[in-house]
Structure formats: structure tokens, C-alpha cells
Structure 1
């Protein structure tokens, strides 16, 4: 029976049993060689599924997003490794294709949690990180709609949610950085404006893991030129590109929101101008949404 189609109580039992077995077998399990770290509402699910279709890539066993390095770090490395395939599965793939198998997961909050990058650098010292970016105005609006749909946001007006953001996030980043056990619901779910300030998060990640281990992808370009971008990602990850490419689809996509208040759109666009300029230094060119403006 497909676990995804099970009733939630039964699914929890299955996941609990799988994690318990996984912990016992953790020494014989794979360790991720790369992670999709963000950003939220930037096409991470679509890239995850494309990479999961690569013949030498084995995806996480239970969830695409494990959330170990942000909200579950207290569970320990054995708990984390419980989410990944056995080494014998990797050996079979390697024998079949003559290329080392890899495994990965996708947790977009890793990009934003103040302690995630240092934890990744410590526990996965050779892992490569993939980051997707998107027009930050559209990203913020999409996140708000997403959080409302999931029941995580009670303020249904986007402008109202933006107005609440400073108070909701007051000192949350500092507390998360200071206290490894602290959790902030607002920081994870209500940081609409802040999430699009991509360069400052990338700079923190680079300080810990090194810039050469981070690959940035514009989601607009990924959806417009999926084959080219996919090949570039595979090259960065050391994955062969001579296999047949997967079918590229959009997942969890929400259409461009044309009903945003024009004044609010202008304010957000102006807010992101210096952040886009900083991101351009990462990309080596102006972000695609600025070039189309």
C-alpha cells in the first residue's frame, strides 16, 4: 500500500516504525552528498523530483524534507541517517551504472535558520548545497497564499501580514541563533518580506561551507530552460548527464498573482532593489526578474 495514501494515524505509525528501524541500522545507511536548502516557494519540489529521477540518485526514504538541520537537530545524527537508503542499495546502483550513487533531501528552511549552515558544515563537510531563487515579490505573495492555505496564517490580507511581520519576527532570529533548543513558528512561517533577501542568507551559508559548494538557480530560468539548468546542476553535483533526462513538471506551483495592490508591489520591488544587486554578484549578472522589468 502506498504510504502517501494511508490515513494520517496509520501513516504516523508506519513512519515511527521506519525511523526506529532506521536508527538501529544507521551505521549502514547513506549520508547525503547534497541538499536542496531553499528558498521557500522557489520551485524546490520541482527540482527535487527532477533530481530524484536521476538513475544514480537515491532519494530520502520517507520525506523529501527531513528538517534535521533546522527544527530537529536535537534528534541526533542516527535519527537523521534513518531517513536515507541503505549502503547496499547504493552499492547496487554503483555496480549497475559504474558511477557512485548519491542521496539527498530538500528542506527549504535550511537556508533561513540561523544555525543550519554551521550544522551542515560540521556534520556534512563535503556536501554540496543547491539554492533556488525567484522574483522576491512573487515569492513573498506566493508564500502568504501557501501559509493561508495550510492554516498557518490567520491574516488573510497580504498587506496586513506584511505589516505584522516586524512585530512577529522581533528578536526571533537572535533567539534562534543563541538558543539551539528554541523554535519560532513566526520565523518559519511568517517571514514573507525577509525571505526574499537572498544574498544575506547566501553570505552566511558561504561563511560556513564555502562559496564553491553552493550553486544558485533562478527558478524562472529552470522552468523556461529545464534541460539546460538540469545539466548544469548535475555537473555541479558530479552526476553524469548522459542518461535520459526526466520529465520536467511544476509541483506545488501557484500562478503569478496579478491581483496584488500596485502600490504594495512597487514598495516591495523598491525594498528588494539593493538585495537584488547583491544577488547579482553571486549570479555574475542581474537576476532574471530585474532584466525583464
Structure 2
């Protein structure tokens, strides 16, 4: 239409060359208009996309409040995950009480998102993997698993569930490998792990000090005689053909010569191991948990652990009940679970029966080591 109008008014019909020029000119203008329209539309859409992407990235680096709001601005799938995880959060809210509802919801949501994101490389990841701020370094059969499981219900603690044995068996793999094992944590949370064999490993204090001189250390101690019998009971369950406890504990029982090369005996000589740790750490950096009081007063012991870690006392006596079958405390059943949270079947085994005379001989052996240990830490654990 534009062509006919222009050709009829500007050029004579007989001028074919002029009409061709006008036709080409008209087509060129139309093509330019079409290109301009396409570029204009894409220009209005792309900036909005870039702005939204920038908004998501900015939220990703903000605090925990914004983290939980990220799904509203970014992806519908992330929002759906947070909402669906709310039911699991209710159980933890029941454990942590009214004071910590907000922080408990944050931690539960974070736990589930981390678990799901580990199976989806395209999902965003919250928090960072950091080297631990605190370590449960000992002792074996003292109650370290109970301390770890109890402290993990605190919303400001993230802990590795398995024992990495980094500072005794896997040190050659390097700190980057060790950091990669840790759970993701927010800046306000403490990263923890527990490996009881660290306490008796000669190189462990130096290696941990090289990682950080400010690391907080937790040692769960127990009557060394009871601890040795528990240690032997565990070994016997795996190797039924081992010699008797008395044979392993003494070089010469008639003369009262205890075999200190046997690991079950050596671990209980706490003062010797502690002296090694004090070459690299201040005594104020080490907190000692009583394995006996952990059974009779778990809330009191966990209260002192929370104080030591600089945490608000959220875990209290309302979180525990005593399981008479197992013989130790369990966490009360959260609303989201049909079962209370007790330690595994390997915990609470009935100890092997040991002759009372053997027990008395071992008590005499440990007494001087215990006294020095009490003096060093400034606390009488009353094992004698």
C-alpha cells in the first residue's frame, strides 16, 4: 500500500527505475522497523531477568532470615521444599521450647535442604563448609556419642555424625579433604565433630593446634576401671575368642602388675594424656564432662557444655527421660516421630562380670593417676 501511494504521487508510472528504487526503499524501512521492534522488546525483558538473578544472588549471601525468604523471589521448587519441611520442624520445636522456635525452625529447614541439595547438584547450597570450631576428642567408652547426639539438637550446632579420624588416621589427606566432610553451617553456627581416639593419639594435639589454636576441646571421662570393662565388653562382642579380661589386664596378677600396654588400661591413665594436650592448649580450652553425671543428670552436664561453647542454654531437663531398659537417658519423642531418640543397640550393653578382687586391684592401680588428674583439672570426679 505504501508503495502504490508513493509511486502514484511522486513518480510517473512510466518511470520503472524510479518505482524499483521506491519499492526497495519501502522494504528497507519495513525491515528496519521490524528489527527495531524485536530489539526493543528483548531489551525490556532481559534487564528484568538480570535484576531478578542479581536479587537472588544478593539474598543468598544474606543472613538466615533472608535465606528462608529466598524461595519467594527465586524458584518455586525451593519454596515448595521449605514449606514441605515445616512439618519436620514442628518436632524439633517441641524439643527446643518456646524460646528457640525461630532458630530451631531455621536449623531444621537448613538440615533438610542440605540433605536434598546433596542429591541435586543444580540446587543452591546454603552456608559454608568450615573447619570445626569444637571437637569431642575423647574418651572411648566414656559417653562421647551421647554428648554429640544431645548437643546436636541445639539449633546453633551442626555436627558430623560419623567419626572422621582425621587427626589420627587420615591426616595425610589434608585440611581441604577434612573440611569437605563437614556439614554446611551459617556464620552463627558452630561446626563440630567427635573422634574419641584423638585423646590418646600423641600427634593429635599438635595437629589440631596447627589447624587452629583457638579450637575448643571436649573430653568425656569416666571411672577408668568401669571404662576398661566397657571397652573389653565391646571388643568381646566382636571377637568372642579373645583372652579373659584378667589375662589382658595383668602381666602378673599375683604381684599386682598391671599391663599398661593394653589399650583398655592405657586410655584410663588420663593425666598422662592430658599433659600432652597442655603443651599445645590452655586448660581453659578443655571442658571435661563426667560420664557418670551424664547418666544421672544429662541436662546439668549439657548445660555446662553449652556454657563452654558460648551457647544459650536451650537444652534442658525437659528434653530427657531415663530409659530403664538401656540404663541411660534418651531424648523425648518429638511430635514428628513415632519413637523417642535413644542411642543405638551397641550402647548400654550389660558388662562382663569381673571378679571383685580384680576390680579392687585396678582401683589401687589407677588411684594415683586419678588424684593427679583431679588436681590438674580442679575437680574431684569421686572414682575412688
Fold match by TM threshold 0.5: yes
For 2:365 and 2:357, the matched residues in 1 are separated by 12
What does residue 47 of structure 2 align with?
none
What does residue 13 of structure 1 align with?
none
Following TM superposition, by how much is the alpha carbon of 1:264 offset from its aligned partner in structure 2, in angstroms? 1.2
Following TM superposition, by how much is the alpha carbon of 1:283 offset from its aligned partner in structure 2, in angstroms? 4.0
Q: Which residues of 2 match residues 139-158 of structure 1 at below 5 A?
A: 139-151=227-239, 154-158=241-245
Name the structure, 1 or 2, with higher relative contact order (CA <8 Å, separation 6+): 1
For 2:241 and 2:300, the matched residues in 1 are separated by 40
Following TM superposition, by how much is the alpha carbon of 1:218 offset from its aligned partner in structure 2, in angstroms? 1.1
Following TM superposition, by how much is the alpha carbon of 1:43 offset from its aligned partner in structure 2, in angstroms? 0.6
For 2:206 and 2:134, the matched residues in 1 are separated by 15
Following TM superposition, by how much is the alpha carbon of 1:169 offset from its aligned partner in structure 2, in angstroms? 7.7
Residue pair 1:132, 1:219 contacting (<8 A) in 2 also: yes
Q: Which residues of 2 match residues 231-270 of structure 1 at below 5 A?
A: 231-242=303-314, 246-247=319-320, 248-249=329-330, 251=343, 252-254=346-348, 257=351, 259-270=353-364
**Among candidates 114, 117, 140, match of residue 40 of structure 1:** 140
Could you list the runs of 4 or more consecutive aligned residues of structure 1 that deviate by over 4 angstroms after TM superposition?
Answer: 164-170, 243-246
Q: CA RMSD in A?
A: 2.8
**Among candidates 278, 293, 296, match of residue 221 of structure 1:** 293
Q: Which residues of 2 match residues 58-69 of structure 1 at below 5 A?
A: 58-60=158-160, 63-69=161-167
What does residue 178 of structure 1 align with?
none
What does residue 226 of structure 2 align with?
138
Partner secondary structure for residue 209 of structure 2:
helix
Distance 1:78 1:258, change over 3 A: closer
Distance 1:286 1:256, change over 3 A: farther
Greater Cα radius of gyration, structure 1 or 2: 2
Q: Which residues of 2 match residues 57-136 of structure 1 at below 5 A?
A: 57-60=157-160, 63-86=161-184, 90-91=185-186, 100-136=188-224
What does residue 194 of structure 1 align with?
266
TM-score (norm 2): 0.56
Following TM superposition, by how much is the alpha carbon of 1:282 offset from its aligned partner in structure 2, in angstroms? 3.4
String of CA shifts for 1:145-180, please: whole Å, max 9, x gaps: 1122234x852411122247999986xxxxxxxxxx
What does residue 367 of structure 2 align with?
273
**Among candidates 156, 170, 187, match of residue 56 of structure 1:** 156
Count of residue correspondences:
235
TM-score (norm 1): 0.72
Distance 1:264 1:81, change over 3 A: same
Partner secondary structure for residue 207 of structure 1:
coil
Unaligned runs of 5+ in 2: 1-117, 321-328, 331-341
Residue pair 2:259, 2:265 contacting (<8 A) in 1 also: no
Distance 1:164 1:113, change over 3 A: farther
Unaligned runs of 5+ in 1: 1-17, 95-99, 171-189
For 1:145 and 1:81, the matched residues in 2 are separated by 34
Following TM superposition, by how much is the alpha carbon of 1:28 offset from its aligned partner in structure 2, in angstroms? 4.5
For 1:82 and 1:113, the matched residues in 2 are separated by 23
Following TM superposition, by how much is the alpha carbon of 1:124 offset from its aligned partner in structure 2, in angstroms? 2.6
